[in-house]
C-alpha cells in the first residue's frame, strides 16, 4: 500500500489512542486489516464491539449491517463509523421489511403464524432484526445457526404439530443448517419468493413445511459449484474441501468441512504441514490464509476471482479519511439506528448472545 497513507493511518490512530477502536471483518483487504484492533467473523465482532464501552468511536471495517449491529450493541455515548457508506450487502438487501411483513400476513392467513419463530441471519438490516425481536425470534450468525434453530424450534415444541421457522434472508445457511445439523429433510423446507404472490407457495405448502426459507443468497458464496469440487478432487490428491455455509447445499454436501470464517481460520491453523485444502469463501481471506501458511497447500474453490465487492469498498484511503476526520473533531459516515428499531433489534440480538455455547 501507499507508504504515505500508511503513515497517515498510523498517525491518526496514535492521535486518537484509546478513543477509537477499529474492528475488521475477515473479508477486509490486507491494507485495512493491518489497522484493525481486532479481526473476526460477524459473531465475534458483535461481541467485541459490545465489550468496548470505553471507546468513543467504533470504526467498523466491514459492511453496513455489521455497523448497525455494532451501534445497537454499544452504549449511547459511543459512535459507530462505516468508512464507506456504499459498503452494503446484496444478501441483506434481498429482504426488505415490507416484504417480510407481507410474508408474515400470509402466514397469519394460512393459520400458522402462531407456530412460526422468525430467525434472521446477522446479514440483514436492523429493521428485520427488530421484526424478529418483536415476534419472538432471534438473530443468528454462521457460527451459531445450529443452536439458534434448536432454540427456535424449542419455543413452539408444546404445539400439537411442533414449531416452524421463517429463516431470513439466506436460504442456503437455513437449508444447510436444518438438513445437515438438525436432521430435517429437504422436503421439510420450502422457499418463499418475495417477488411472487403468496411467496409462490400454497397455504397447504406453508402448513406442511418446517422451514420456510427466504429466497436470498450471497452472490459471492453462490458462485462455488459442485463441478469445481469434483474437478479439484480429481486434480489435487488428498485435497480437503472447506466451505462456508452460505454455499449452495450441493456444494456443502460435497465438502469435507463447513463453518464460519472463524472456523475456517481455526481449521487451517490446526492443519498438518503439507496438507492440501481448497477453500470456498471470500478471496481476501483465502489469500491471507495462503500467505500465512506457506507450509500448507491452499487453493481457492473457484476458477475465477471472487472478492466481495462491497467488503472491498473499505480501502485504506477511506479508512484514513474516517480516522483523520475523527482527529479533526468530525464524525463522518456515522451509522445510527433509530431508538424504536434499536430496542427490538437488541431483543433479538440479546437472545442470540444468550444462546448456549
Numbered residues of the known binding site for [4Fe-4S] cluster: 89, 218, 308
What is the 3-state secondary structure of the chain? CCHHHHHHHHHHHHHHHHHEEEEEECCCCHHHHCCCCEEECHHHHHHHHHCCCCCCEEEEECCHHHHHHHHHHCCCCCEEECCCCCCCCCCHHHCCHHHHHHHHHHHHHCCCHHHEEEEEECCCCHHHHHHHHHCCCEEECCCCHHHHHHHHHHHCCCCCCCCEEEEECCHHHHHHHHHHHCCCCHHHEEEECCCCHHHHCCHHHHHHCCEEEECCCCCCHHHCCHHHHHHHHHHCCCCEEEECCCCCHHHHHHCCEECCHHHHHHHHHHCCCCCEEEEECCHHHHHHHHHHCCCCEEEECCCCCCCCCCHHHCCHHHHHHHHHHHHCCCCCCEECCCHHHHHHHHHHHHHHHCCCC
| Residue (42 or 78) nearer to ligand SF4, CB | 42
**Binding partner selected for residue 42 from ligand 13P, ligand SF4, none, CB under the kind-specific 5 to 8 Å limit:** ligand 13P
**Binding partner selected for residue 41 from ligand 13P, ligand SF4, none, CB under the kind-specific 5 to 8 Å limit:** ligand 13P
Q: Which stretch binds ligand 13P (CB under 6 A): 39-47, 98-106, 178-186, 347-355?
A: 39-47
Closest approach of Cβ 8 to ligand 13P, in Å? 28
Cβ proximity of 53 and 75 under 8 Å: yes
**Binding partner selected for residue 73 from ligand 13P, ligand SF4, none, CB under the kind-specific 5 to 8 Å limit:** none
| Residue (55 or 228) nearer to ligand SF4, CB | 228
Backbone angles phi, psi at 4, to 5 degrees: -65, -45
Give the residue, chosen from 260, 284, 333, 341, that forms a contact with ligand 13P under the rule CB under 6 A. 260
| Residue (78 or 281) nearer to ligand SF4, CB | 281
| Residue (48 or 246) nearer to ligand SF4, CB | 246
Closest approach of Cβ 90 to ligand SF4, in Å? 5
Which residues would be at the binding site for ligand SF4 (CB under 6 A)? 27, 63, 89-91, 123, 218-220, 282, 308, 310-311
Binding mask of the shown chain, residues 134 to 173, with x at each position contacting ligand 13P by CB under 6 A: -------xx-------------------------------
**Binding partner selected for residue 90 from ligand 13P, ligand SF4, none, CB under the kind-specific 5 to 8 Å limit:** ligand SF4
Closest approach of Cβ 42 to ligand 13P, in Å? 4
Closest approach of Cβ 222 to ligand SF4, in Å? 8
**Binding partner selected for residue 72 from ligand 13P, ligand SF4, none, CB under the kind-specific 5 to 8 Å limit:** none
Residue numbers of the site for ligand 13P (CB under 6 A)? Answer: 41-43, 123, 141-142, 218, 246, 260-261
Amino acid at each position: 500500500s501507499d507508504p504515505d497513507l500508511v503513515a497517515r493511518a498510523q498517525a491518526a490512530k496514535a492521535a486518537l489512542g484509546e478513543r477509537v477502536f477499529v474492528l475488521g471483518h475477515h473479508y477486509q483487504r490486507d491494507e485495512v486489516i493491518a489497522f484493525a484492533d481486532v479481526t473476526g467473523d460477524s459473531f465475534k465482532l458483535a461481541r467485541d464491539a459490545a465489550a468496548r464501552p470505553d471507546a468513543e468511536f467504533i470504526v467498523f471495517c466491514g459492511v453496513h449491517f455489521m455497523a448497525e449491529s455494532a451501534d445497537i450493541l454499544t452504549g449511547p455515548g459511543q459512535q459507530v463509523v462505516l468508512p464507506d457508506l456504499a459498503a452494503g450487502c446484496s444478501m441483506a438487501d434481498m429482504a426488505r421489511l415490507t416484504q417480510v411483513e407481507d410474508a408474515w400476513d400470509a402466514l397469519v392467513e394460512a393459520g400458522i403464524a402462531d407456530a412460526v419463530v422468525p430467525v434472521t441471519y446477522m446479514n440483514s438490516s436492523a429493521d428485520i432484526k427488530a421484526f424478529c425481536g418483536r415476534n419472538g425470534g432471534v438473530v443468528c450468525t454462521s457460527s451459531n445457526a445450529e443452536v439458534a434453530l434448536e432454540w427456535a424450534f424449542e419455543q413452539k415444541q408444546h404445539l400439537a404439530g411442533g414449531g416452524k421457522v421463517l429463516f431470513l434472508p439466506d436460504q442456503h445457511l437455513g437449508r444447510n443448517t436444518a438438513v445437515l445439523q438438525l436432521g430435517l429433510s429437504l422436503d421439510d423446507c420450502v422457499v418463499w419468493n418475495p417477488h411472487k404472490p403468496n411467496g409462490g407457495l400454497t397455504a397447504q405448502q406453508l402448513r406442511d413445511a418446517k422451514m420456510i426459507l427466504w429466497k436470498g443468497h450471497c452472490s459471492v458464496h453462490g458462485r462455488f459449484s459442485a463441478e469445481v469440487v469434483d474437478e479439484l478432487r480429481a486434480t489435487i490428491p488428498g485435497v480437503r474441501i472447506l466451505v462456508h455455509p452460505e454455499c449452495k447445499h450441493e456444494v456443502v454436501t460435497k465438502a469435507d468441512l463447513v463453518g464460519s470464517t472463524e472456523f475456517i481460520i481455526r481449521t487451517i491453523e490446526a492443519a498438518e504441514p503439507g496438507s492440501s485444502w481448497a477453500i470456498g469463501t471470500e478471496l481476501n481471506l483465502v489469500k491471507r490464509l495462503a500467505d500465512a501458511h506457506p507450509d500448507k497447500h491452499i487453493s481457492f474453490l473457484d476458477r475465477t476471482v471472487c472478492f466481495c465487492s462491497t467488503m472491498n469498498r473499505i480501502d485504506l484511503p477511506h479508512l484514513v479519511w474516517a480516522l483523520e476526520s475523527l482527529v479533526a473533531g468530525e464524525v463522518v459516515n456515522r451509522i445510527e439506528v433509530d431508538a424504536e428499531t434499536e430496542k427490538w433489534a437488541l431483543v433479538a440480538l440479546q437472545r442470540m448472545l444468550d444462546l448456549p455455547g
